[in-house]
Amino acid sequence: MIWAHGEDALEFLQGQFSQDLKQVPAGKVTYGFWLTQKGKVFGDAIVRPESAERCLIASWSLTADALRERLDAYIIADDVELEDQTDAWKGWVIAGEQVCSGSAALPVGEDTVWWQGTEEGALGYVLAKLEPEWPANWTEMDESEWARIRIAVKWPEVPVDLGADDLPQEGGRHEVGVSFNKGCYLGQEVMARLEATGRVRRQLTRVSGNGPMPPGDSAELQQDGKTVGKVRSHVTHPDGGWIGLAMVLLARVDLEKPAELKDQPATRVEFG
C-alpha cells in the first residue's frame, strides 16, 4: 500500500499505469497493470485517485518496496513522493454470489476501499485500516475456496498465472485493466498494436483433470506427444479431480480435444 503525493502525482502515475486515471472520479477505484516497455506484466494494482496531488495504490502482487523501486526508477523531475502505508492497512479478497448484493453495504471512505472485479463469480478486493463490519450473510472462505472461484471465472493471480513473460491480453485481463484511449504510458505501444491486430500467440484457459494434482508449478500439457501449454495454478475440486488455469500455445493446441500431463500420462485434462 502506497500513497503517491505531490504536485505531479496523478500526472506521473498516468504515464506509468495501464488504466486512464484521469477518467476515474475522485475517490473511486480502478484496476490495472504496471507494464514493461515490451508490454509484459510487471505487476497489477488498484488505484484510487483522491486528487491531482494524491493517489492511493494497493497491490497484492508487489510489495511496497518493489513497487516503490519500480516507480522511483522513472521519477526524474517530477514532484512525487511515495509513502509506504502497508502497516496502516489490511486487505481481504471477496468472492461469491453474496458480493453482488452485499458489497454496496461496505463502508467506502478515506479508511476503506473496495473494488469489485467482475460480476461473473463476483470477486474483488477490500482494503481498510480497521476490519469492516461485513454483511450478515457473508462467510469466511479459505484459500482453496478463493482459488476455485477465481479459476472458475478465469481471474488470473499475478504473477502466478500472469507474470513477467506474459501480456495482459494473454490472460484476458485487458478488458478490465487496460485503457486504449489514453495517451502514452509504459508499454502503451505494444497494447495499441495488439488492440489493432487482435492477435496473441498464447491464451490462459481453464483446465480440469480427473487424476492426481499436477506436480509442482508449470506442469506441461501435451497432445500427441507435443507440449501445448503449462498449468499455472490448480486446486482440488469438491466433486473430485482438480481445476486450474493453463497458458496454452494457440498454434499447437486443439481445445476441443483432451490433453495429458507430461509426467502423468494417465491424467486426462479437459479445456474450458
In the chain, the percentage of residues whose pLDDT exceeds 70 is 94
> Is position 191 within any domain?
no
Is 157 within a domain? Answer: no
> Which CATH number covers residue 82?
3.30.1360.120
pTM of the model: 0.91
Q: Which structural domain, as residue segments, surrounds residue 224?
A: 201-272
Phi, psi of 176 (to 5 degrees): -110, -15
State pLDDT tens for residues 171-183: 999 989 999 998 8
Same domain, 232 and 141: no
Residue 48 is assigned to a structural domain of this protein: yes
pLDDT digits (tens, 9 = 90+) for 38-52: 999 999 999 999 999
The answer for residues whose C-beta is within 8 angstroms of residue 208's C-beta and 6 or more apart is: 237, 241, 242, 243, 244, 269, 270
DSSP 15: T
The total domain count for the chain is: 2
Same structural domain for residues 97 and 35? yes
* 189 within domain boundaries: no
In a domain, 246, yes or no: yes
Are 44 and 124 in a shared domain?
yes
CB 103 within 8 A of CB 94: yes
Residue 252, domain member (yes or no) = yes
The reply to whether 138 and 32 lie within a common domain is yes
